[in-house]
Amino acid sequence: MARRKKVYEGKAKILYEGPEPGTLIQYFKDDATAFNAQKVEVIEGKGVLNNRLSEFFMQGLNDIGVPTHFIRRINMREQLIRQVEMIPLEVVVRNIAAGSLSKRLGIDEGTALPRPIVEFYYKDDKLGDPLVAEEHIIAFGWATQQDLDDIVALALRVNDFLSGVMIGVGIRLVDFKIEVGRIWDNDYQRIVVADEISPDSCRLWDIKTGQKLDKDVFRRDLGSLAEAYSEVARRLGVLPSVAPAVTKPTLIN
């Protein structure tokens, strides 16, 4: 059997050449890593869940006109995506203080922020993805001011969409990370959401109990990561909870 050409292998995903020029196949692995890959584990089923959840979020964004690289899911672990020119930044949006923001600025985890905060980290494993300012990004040519304006607008739209979807299933979107890339339509450039959107790159807290349903479960040894991700998938209706029960519709009040 002819083997596909691997284009790139990262910590959680592999990219293969796609069936047509300008496309790639994104394969979701079961590997979980944290602390710049100092903690590594295989979590059975994580890749399947993230493939499905990322499809759900990216398709939702496409549907409301927020451009993403996502074309369609192919199977349990793979999706077809548009090839983009990656911008070497991690774009973090925060609604509630947690993680590195709490540590850096001494703000208690769980403190609601007065407005969403957008931060940029320079993608470089050797440097541990340092926080950078727009000044650095422009001076070093990683993106232009116009790109950054587009990226902030895009990130805030993603935040509104994801926050709304999650609140609908009783989950608070504390913060999340996206990666973005450029797509060229002739001479016209567009910034699109790339990579993945999944509980690997979000902080998700149950509204009632505060229970963590994201990668902090793995980072902080809080229990089963697969169970936490399955709970998110179940609530969003992308994973059947149990065989659909035959119930008679009843009106409450």
Only segment of 6-14, 43-51, 57-65, 172-180 that touches ligand UDP (CB under 6 A):
172-180
Candidates 14, 48, 91, 101: give the one binding ligand UDP (CB under 6 A). Answer: 101
Q: In Å, how far are 183, 193, 194, 246 from 186, measured between CA atoms?
A: 9, 19, 20, 53
| Residue 106 φ then ψ, to 5° | 65, 35
- Nearest Cα residue to 176 out of 93, 112, 104: 93
Shortest Cβ 4–ligand UDP spacing (Å):
27
Cβ proximity to ligand UDP: between 90 and 147 the closer is 90
Cβ proximity to ligand UDP: between 18 and 171 the closer is 171
Candidates 100, 107, 234, 238: give the one binding ligand UDP (CB under 6 A). Answer: 100
Binding to ligand UDP by CB under 6 A, coded x per residue (else -) over 80-99, reads ----------x-x-----xx
What type of residue sits at position 231? E
Q: Which helix (H) or strand (E) holds 62?
A: helix 46-63
Candidates 30, 78, 109, 129: give the one binding ligand UDP (CB under 6 A). Answer: 129
Whole-angstrom distance, CA of residue 162 vs CA of residue 79: 20
User: Judged by CB under 6 A, how many residues of this single chain contact ligand UDP?
Assistant: 14
Q: Which residues touch 119 (CB under 8 Å, ≥6 apart)?
A: 91, 92, 93, 94, 101, 131
Whole-angstrom distance, CA of residue 14 vs CA of residue 31: 11
Handedness of CA 241, 244, 246, 248 (dihedral sign): positive
Cβ proximity to ligand UDP: between 7 and 118 the closer is 118
For 209, the 3-state DSSP assignment is coil
212 is an interface residue for ligand UDP by CB under 6 A: no
176 is an interface residue for ligand UDP by CB under 6 A: yes
Structure tokens at 111: 């403190």
The one-character DSSP state at 238 is S
Asked if residue 24 lies in contact with residue 5, where contact means CB atoms within 8 angstroms, the answer is no
Among residue numbers 23 through 82, which ones bind ligand UDP (CB under 6 A)? none
Whole-angstrom distance, CA of residue 137 vs CA of residue 119: 12
Shortest Cβ 193–ligand UDP spacing (Å):
13
Candidates 55, 150, 175, 231: give the one binding ligand UDP (CB under 6 A). Answer: 175
116 is an interface residue for ligand UDP by CB under 6 A: no
Shortest Cβ 36–ligand UDP spacing (Å):
8
For 121, the 3-state DSSP assignment is strand
Binding to ligand UDP by CB under 6 A, coded x per residue (else -) over 213-232, reads --x-----------------
Interface residues with ligand UDP (CB under 6 A)? 90, 92, 98-101, 129, 175-177, 201-203, 215
